Amino acid sequence: MWLGLLLACTGTDDSAETAVDPLCVDAPIVTYETFGAGFVEENCQSCHASTSLDRQGAPSFVVFDTVDDVWALDERILQVAVPDPPMMPPQGGTTADDRAKLEIWLTCAEMGT
Ligand code: HEC
């Protein structure tokens, strides 16, 4: 019984890992180095850096100092910063092109890059 359950779960995880998101087929390679660092610095760090002088109410657990900080919240970032209009940054202002790159980065890049 338990073994069956375990195997069932493992099988599901494997197929999830190998399935390629349609978004990533023929997508440009986007990483923290080529895009993410600059995007986060320009659009998010004024409120979400640990060194921010005025967080404007940004929660203390939402800090984007490093690539690992960003990946720790990748799902939340996709939800709040990719839609048009985005919920983050609160004042908006990101371009459609940048939001598309953000989605490709956090969906298709190897986690942590
Ligand atoms: C002007 C300040 C400011 C900027 C710039 C800003 N944020 Fe925020 N952020 C906030 C505040 C305030 C909150 C808490 C209120 C809220 O959740 O709406 C927050 C919350 C969040 C959360 C947690 C939301 C949740 O419900 O879990 C995430 C994730 C986030 N921001 C991501 C980003 C990203 C990504 C950017 C850049 C694209 C960004 N923020 C830019 C102020 C900012």
Domain contains 13: no
90: preceding bond cis by omega (within 30 degrees): no
Whole-structure pTM value: 0.87
Q: Ligand 1 mean position to 89 CA, how many Å? A: 6
Instruction: Note down the domain range covering 57.
Output: 28-108
**In this predicted model, what pLDDT tens digit does every residue of 37-91 receive, in sequence order?**
999 999 999 999 999 999 999 999 999 999 999 999 999 999 999 999 999 999 9
Domain contains 2: no
The total number of structural domains that make up the chain? 1
CB of 43 shorter than 6 A to ligand 1: yes
Tokens of 35: 């895009």
Question: What's the CA gap between 47 and 95, in Å, rounded?
Answer: 19
Which residue among 74, 88, 94, 103 has the greatest number of ligand 1 atoms within 8 angstroms of its CB, and so is best to mutate? Answer: 88
**In this predicted model, what pLDDT tens digit does every residue of 91-106 receive, in sequence order?**
999 999 999 999 999 9
